[in-house]
Structure 1
């Protein structure tokens, strides 16, 4: 008898339970993530009515792979450019929410008498909202086009980045078991350093690499290459002391910048769904009813703290950032749950053995309950805003509206802000690259050369020469590269900024000197290092132009790759404050009744009150489309309107369910029809007969005098005794003919 490994049995049980339960939840219109959790509980060790998972350790490995794939997919959705371009409102809202929930979670844990580590991890668990749950809820409720949805997506982008930082900080804190400020600072600086290095190297090499191999690879090969890059970055992140999730997120963000980013995201989606299901089911397996019954009161209180705290903190952050009261309330109600990152943070505590056994199932229970309430809270946000608008004093409402309008007004960037931003980015990037080159030289290049020669002095000199050659373009950029020369000249003419500009330039020169001293100190004695430093300065001065040209070529290649997928600046969710109108996108489905019609025929401005500002059609962008522009399947409409107008348009262009059902019931069959004397077909051409309109069928063949004609032309004239073959719906053909 063939023996089936337990892992295969367990996987079949997991996916079978997930399939059945999620079908039920889909029918009940509940979030699928909640269904996965319930499925995990049913096949877990704490529920004996159904078959139970045998090898939980192997399932845990599959779940860890699921976390990696989930974070990789998240990185593909939220690229580095999106992270850097996210608005100030989203950043303020996210940071406010995270800080408030960290504090609320910590003090709630302390109020229960929990340990310091349990309380800290509870704060981390409660601080991050669920991207997966919110996106699915928005899709199911049809509110993705509304103004507040853009702010929520921006908040989620910032929260995901903050969550990655939290994972690093909590890992450091768990290992040190104390609030060591220096260790925390070192961890943050280390994270920034590796983020910069990975980002620069990824943008420099990967887009060019994918372009080179594009003619050679199929979709299968692209998927394999993408996953290989993901797991290689996971290994690299783990080697330098970070979590595997961080490595997966970083690689996803880098690949999102390439021309293949969207395609990779599409290819990875089925794998993400598979391993994501395994991950959420494995989380559900940890639900212990007895432990939940024992800690029922903390679960209820933490759920209330989560929902109320997130609504309050998110709404407060949005208001502080200048958003209107309506948008702020809707944002707060949308973010009132915890999800996948909370599980990852809870898993971290269990893995490091720093949290109590009850914290994980409590986190799962809170997530399950808050997930269940999310769609209802989103629906409740608008009535709550109407109630709040009536209850609050009119003076408060006027002040909030005035503050919102003033904050949303267009602001200009001063020369000083432009200078500080560009010089800070320039300094951070080139210092990080230079330091990375020096570290690689000291740890790998120098030992390698020393192993090839017996003379230590000459091996050090050889290492130094090679390192300086590689390092020189970046030292030039760090020390002397000027950005926005015109701006710098203007600032020098202003007494207030003149000295500050000189100080910042001097600071960059000192950083360059520190890097050179670090390099020389690792390879040479102090006396020799001084002479070598002078020699390096002289050589760099002699070959100044060559070094500059090399750097400029490198910079041009980097910028070309960086802007590889950059299109026209998107204006999603920009606010026209006086009218509460904004830009948004609507995808035209192939089944939409708008397909094939012109804007003049559709009359959307008259019917819904919106304007179509732009249409994205593949690689083509149609600006200010004319009235005779035809709408095609897959078009992305950039429209301007209020929330009510956008909802109205969405209902207009939404595919007709009855038409789809009729189409699903359409069963085409092959029928034959004999043209008799004086029938409506005799003597008429195929075009004149209008047989297609009458029967909703297609003439595919005609027999005449033993001759067969396949797919006759529209000019074909029917004669008596012709046998006509029609493909179409049986009922309609028989009723017509």
Structure 2
């Protein structure tokens, strides 16, 4: 009889149980993740009704591979550019939730009499919500298009990044067994350093490699190459002291910026589903039903803390971010569960032998309960909002509305803000690159040269020369390059600020010189370093033009790789329709364009230019076949179908700007949502919106009216103003105040 290895038998048993149970859960319309956990419970060593697995240790190896693929797939959906786009509100909500749940989890653990380490890990477990469960619930309830759903997706993106940071911090804490502020800060800085290095190097190298090798790649080779890149980053992350999951996540986020992202995501999906199933089944295998019964009280308490704590913290974060009461409550009720990352954090505690045996099954039980409650919590959001609104004092509601309106003020970035942000980003990026180059040179290049090629001082000199050549373009960029020339030029035009600009320029040069000194200090004495440093500065000045060209090529390749996905999408949208000489072309509407604020009917694009507006992209929203009443806003991307001649004429029209005002138009007016009260002697009394001329007088738009305790959003132009009406206008604050102060002439 042929001997069958236990690993194969266990794998067959796991997948068989998972297949049967998940079919049942699919029929019952329940989350498959829960089905996997129950399948693991059934084939685990704690239930004897069914055949049990023989070697739990081997299954743990498969489970760790499952975690790697889960994080790799999450990275493919993540994209660092998405993190930038989610904006402040989602970031505020996520950070408030994580801090509150870390604290509540720790306090709950201590109140239950658990150890400090169990309590800290419990806080980490409760602080991260389940992306998979929320997305599935939104799909089933049909709420993905609602405003709060966009905020929740942003929260989940920020939480994913925070979870990676938590894995690093908890690992550090578990090893040191004490809260050491210096060690934690070192771990955070180390993580930030390697994240920047890996992201910059990955974006520069990997998209170029995939593009040049694309002709040699079919689906099979692309899948193998992608998984190989994932595991190479896993090995690299482990080598520098991070978890393998972090490496998988980083490589996924790098590949997410390439033109192959969707293809890779599709190819990896099946592999991820397979190993993900094994991971979740292994979660169920570790559950001891007897322990869950014994800890029923703590499970109930922690479930209550999770449901209430997450709902209240996210709602509070939403109110702080100015998102309004309804949106904040809907967001809070949507994220009241724990999931994938919670299991990974619990697994970390088990792997490092720093948590008690009961914590893992307790976390799984809480996850199972909160998974079931998620759809009901989302459905309860609107009724809860109505109840809260009915019991809130009128003064509180007015304050919340005023704060929410104030938080939505539109403001343009000043030249100083643009310049300082540019300087800060460049300083961080170039510093990280040069520190990485110096460390690589000292730890790897120098031993290679001195041990195998040339020993002694000559070997150090060659190492320094090679490193300096690699650093030269970034030294030039740090000391000389001006990425925001226009903003700096406008500031320089003001003589009062010139001395400050000069100081900043010298500071940049000084920092660049310090990096040269940092490099030389690795290999030479202080005196030699000074002499060699002066020679290096002279050489940099002589070859400045060549170094500049080299840097520009590096930057162009990096930016092309970073934006390759968007460029490819734009090219796919550009089609020619034969036999007509017409094609689809896109324009981005400038803020000062003459088309801003006008409807397609007012613009008469077909009559005047012979073109058709086919699509309007507005942020994350795509308006297909827009109607004649659709208005154009700044930043809109409009796709038009026309010939080359028609396209060029329309482009010139779109890019033409509104004539400057009488004051020269040199100053940008502040735009704000502001209220205006109609008084008894107001110029607006008994006039309709159309008759009042508010649009022309305030350069603004009425977006809402409070009339007789009734709120009217986007009112009709024939609505008449009465005394006591409160108008909400988006426009120039001083113009609105001027209009409010205007009075009807006294009657004789």
Query: TM-score normalised to the size of structure 2?
Result: 0.76
Matched-pair contact (CA < 8 Å) for 1:311–1:329: yes
* Aligned counterparts of 1:65 and 1:211: Cα–Cα separation in 2: 28
Q: CA 1:503 to 1:34, structure 2 compared with 1: closer, same or farther past 3 Å?
A: farther
* Aligned counterparts of 1:169 and 1:501: Cα–Cα separation in 2: 40
* Aligned counterparts of 2:500 and 2:244: Cα–Cα separation in 1: 42
Aligned length: 594
Q: Where do residues 596-635 of structure 1 align in structure 2 (5 Å cutoff)?
A: 623=639
SS of 1:523 mapped into structure 2: coil
**Equivalent in the alignment of 2:741:** none
**Deviation (angstroms), 1:495:** 8.1
**Equivalent in the alignment of 1:356:** 356
* Aligned counterparts of 1:367 and 1:517: Cα–Cα separation in 2: 54
**Deviation (angstroms), 1:319:** 1.2
**Equivalent in the alignment of 1:562:** 562
Q: CA 1:488 to 1:12, structure 2 compared with 1: closer, same or farther past 3 Å?
A: same
Q: CA 1:401 to 1:251, structure 2 compared with 1: closer, same or farther past 3 Å?
A: same
Task: Give CA-to-partner distance per residue, 1:606-656, whole Å, 9 cap, x none.
Answer: 9xxx97999xxxxxx974899xxxxxxxxxxxxxxxxxxxxxxxxxxxxxx
**Equivalent in the alignment of 2:276:** 276
Q: CA 1:585 to 1:66, structure 2 compared with 1: closer, same or farther past 3 Å?
A: farther
* Aligned counterparts of 1:613 and 1:373: Cα–Cα separation in 2: 42
* Aligned counterparts of 2:14 and 2:131: Cα–Cα separation in 1: 24
* Aligned counterparts of 2:226 and 2:400: Cα–Cα separation in 1: 48
**Equivalent in the alignment of 1:81:** 81
**Equivalent in the alignment of 1:536:** 536
Q: Where do residues 134-173 of structure 1 align in structure 2 (5 Å cutoff)?
A: 134-173=134-173
**Deviation (angstroms), 1:357:** 1.3
**Deviation (angstroms), 1:455:** 4.1
Q: Where do residues 256-295 of structure 1 align in structure 2 (5 Å cutoff)?
A: 256-295=256-295
* Aligned counterparts of 1:503 and 1:9: Cα–Cα separation in 2: 71
**Equivalent in the alignment of 1:674:** none
Matched-pair contact (CA < 8 Å) for 1:78–1:253: yes
**Deviation (angstroms), 1:70:** 0.4
SS of 1:520 mapped into structure 2: helix
SS of 2:564 mapped into structure 1: coil
**Equivalent in the alignment of 2:298:** 298
Q: Where do residues 62-141 of structure 1 align in structure 2 (5 Å cutoff)?
A: 62-141=62-141
**Equivalent in the alignment of 2:466:** 466
Q: Quick check: 74-83 or 447-456, which moved more?
A: 447-456
**Equivalent in the alignment of 1:341:** 341
Q: CA 1:517 to 1:159, structure 2 compared with 1: closer, same or farther past 3 Å?
A: same
SS of 2:565 mapped into structure 1: coil
SS of 1:368 mapped into structure 2: helix
**Equivalent in the alignment of 1:393:** 393
Q: CA 1:547 to 1:131, structure 2 compared with 1: closer, same or farther past 3 Å?
A: same
* Aligned counterparts of 1:292 and 1:494: Cα–Cα separation in 2: 71
Where in structure 1 are there 5+ consecutive unaligned residues?
577-581, 588-597, 615-620, 627-737
**Equivalent in the alignment of 1:547:** 547
Q: Quick check: 234-243 or 208-217, which moved more?
A: 208-217
Q: CA 1:115 to 1:18, structure 2 compared with 1: closer, same or farther past 3 Å?
A: same
Q: CA 1:498 to 1:103, structure 2 compared with 1: closer, same or farther past 3 Å?
A: farther
**Equivalent in the alignment of 1:651:** none
* Aligned counterparts of 2:543 and 2:183: Cα–Cα separation in 1: 41
Matched-pair contact (CA < 8 Å) for 2:288–2:361: yes
Q: Quick check: 443-452 or 485-494, which moved more?
A: 485-494
RMSD, matched Cα: 2.6
SS of 1:534 mapped into structure 2: helix
Task: Give CA-to-partner distance per residue, 1:327-363, whole Å, 9 cap, x none.
Answer: 1111001100000001111111111111111111111
**Equivalent in the alignment of 2:47:** 47
**Equivalent in the alignment of 1:484:** 484
* 1:421 lines up with 2:417 in the alignment: no
Task: Give CA-to-partner distance per residue, 1:410-430, whole Å, 9 cap, x none.
Answer: 221122221222111111111
**Deviation (angstroms), 1:90:** 0.5
Q: CA 1:49 to 1:455, structure 2 compared with 1: closer, same or farther past 3 Å?
A: closer
SS of 2:283 mapped into structure 1: helix
**Equivalent in the alignment of 1:679:** none
* Aligned counterparts of 1:560 and 1:150: Cα–Cα separation in 2: 28
Q: CA 1:306 to 1:163, structure 2 compared with 1: closer, same or farther past 3 Å?
A: same
* 1:371 lines up with 2:371 in the alignment: yes
**Deviation (angstroms), 1:489:** 3.4
Q: CA 1:538 to 1:304, structure 2 compared with 1: closer, same or farther past 3 Å?
A: same
Query: TM-score normalised to the size of structure 1?
Result: 0.77
Matched-pair contact (CA < 8 Å) for 2:235–2:247: yes
* Aligned counterparts of 1:599 and 1:420: Cα–Cα separation in 2: 41
Where in structure 2 are there 5+ consecutive unaligned residues?
571-585, 589-596, 598-617, 643-748
Task: Give CA-to-partner distance per residue, 1:652-692, whole Å, 9 cap, x none.
Answer: xxxxxxxxxxxxxxxxxxxxxxxxxxxxxxxxxxxxxxxxx
Task: Give CA-to-partner distance per residue, 1:146-198, whole Å, 9 cap, x none.
Answer: 11111100000000001111111111111112222221111111111111111
* Aligned counterparts of 1:507 and 1:165: Cα–Cα separation in 2: 32
Task: Give CA-to-partner distance per residue, 1:566-599, whole Å, 9 cap, x none.
Answer: 257999xxxx9xxxxx976699xxxxxxxxxx97
Matched-pair contact (CA < 8 Å) for 1:145–1:586: no
* Aligned counterparts of 1:611 and 1:328: Cα–Cα separation in 2: 29
| Higher alpha-carbon Rg | 1
* Aligned counterparts of 1:349 and 1:308: Cα–Cα separation in 2: 25
Q: Quick check: 513-522 or 66-75, which moved more?
A: 513-522
